[in-house]
């Protein structure tokens, strides 16, 4: 499944380029490059992206290119340098992208269970030593990408708020890259505990990638604003409106299922201020994060 999350384009060399160089004039490209966050295996993401590609080609009447970046950072840089027209970011990776490319515009957010939000799940190996949040102390804890909301920022803040556990002080922070990598590592006992998106975890169990009998749930975080869809600010007004309508009016259940959402609602930048505040509490300098 696409899963909120990730296609993007191959990066060509950008050394020496200034962000948004030559972006003064509006653009109406005949081909749109769509990037979705690389939080699962790239081959799986590409395979399940085809219904979205066909929907956008029909709705926008132009070629759609979908590729996968290697990680969150490369997707953020691709958006920053104008090498993506549309990007489906994770909540915190959007905050990072916006800090580097102020011109990008969030316009739609996924709705699940009637809400434009979701949770992170903190899990442990069923046969391991971690039975509660307090047991994480002194042990490795698996996170996904550094820029991931539900597989890093939210659960890291949750451990601090609920159990007074600070990363790299009270437990060892281990970044494993993707959400499915965290679930697999916990199941195999490679790390005693970890965190990932709850919707992704449910899907991994449903697809039998993960055996829920080998994993226990430690806790769930508070609600997190869902993944925003963004676009470059220098597109023509007519194209921007067409892109908005292509997502906000989306009813195709096959496409929506690949995003793990019921539909899309309008959003704006202010919806993600809560994540900026979370980063401040964790003393994370957004401007310096890769």
Half-sphere exposure of 13 (CA within 13 A, CB side): 2
CATH-assigned architecture of domain 31-114+226-288: 3-Layer(aba) Sandwich (3.40)
CATH class of the domain defined by 120-220: alpha beta
Nearest to 35 by CA among 82, 85, 77, 80: 85
What are the DSSP calls for 201-224, one per residue? HHHHHHTTSS-GGGEEEEEE---E
The H or E element that residue 51 is part of is helix 50-60
| Predicted local distance difference test score (pLDDT) of residue 191 | 98
Do the domains 120-220 and 31-114+226-288 match in fold?
yes
Question: Is 250 in a helix, a strand, or coil?
Answer: coil
Tell me what pLDDT residue 289 has: 67
pTM of the model: 0.75
Q: Residues of the chain whose pLDDT is less than 50?
A: 1-23
- Position 205 scores a pLDDT of 96
Domain-wise residue ranges, the chain = 31-114+226-288, 120-220
């Amino acid at each position: 499944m696409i899963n909120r999350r990730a296609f993007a384009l191959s990066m060509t060399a950008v050394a020496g380029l200034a962000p948004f160089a030559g972006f003064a004039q509006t653009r109406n490209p005949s081909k749109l490059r769509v990037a979705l966050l690389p939080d699962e295996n790239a081959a799986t993401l590409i395979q399940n992206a085809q219904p979205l590609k066909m929907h956008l080609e029909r709705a926008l009447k132009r070629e759609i290119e979908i590729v996968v970046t290697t990680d969150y950072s490369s997707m953020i840089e691709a958006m920053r340098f104008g090498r993506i027209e549309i990007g489906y970011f994770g909540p915190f990776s959007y905050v990072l992208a916006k800090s580097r490319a102020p011109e990008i515009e969030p316009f739609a957010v996924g709705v699940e269970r009637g809400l434009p939000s979701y949770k992170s799940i903190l899990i442990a190996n069923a046969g391991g030593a971690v039975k509660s949040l307090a047991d994480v102390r002194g042990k490795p804890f698996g996170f996904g990408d550094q820029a991931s909301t539900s597989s890093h920022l939210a659960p890291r803040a949750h451990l601090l708020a609920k159990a007074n556990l600070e990363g790299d002080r009270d437990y060892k922070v281990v970044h494993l890259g993707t959400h499915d990598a965290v679930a697999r590592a916990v199941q195999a006992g490679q790390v005693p505990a970890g965190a990932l998106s709850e919707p992704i975890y449910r899907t991994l169990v449903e697809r039998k990638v993960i055996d829920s009998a080998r994993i226990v749930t430690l806790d769930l975080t508070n609600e997190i604003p869902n993944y925003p869809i963004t676009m470059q600010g220098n597109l023509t007004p007519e194209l921007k409106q067409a892109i908005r309508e292509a997502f906000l009016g989306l009813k195709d259940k096959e496409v929506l299922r690949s995003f793990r959402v019921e539909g899309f609602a309008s959003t704006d930048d202010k919806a993600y201020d809560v994540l900026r505040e979370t980063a401040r509490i964790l003393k994370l300098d957004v401007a310096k994060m890769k």
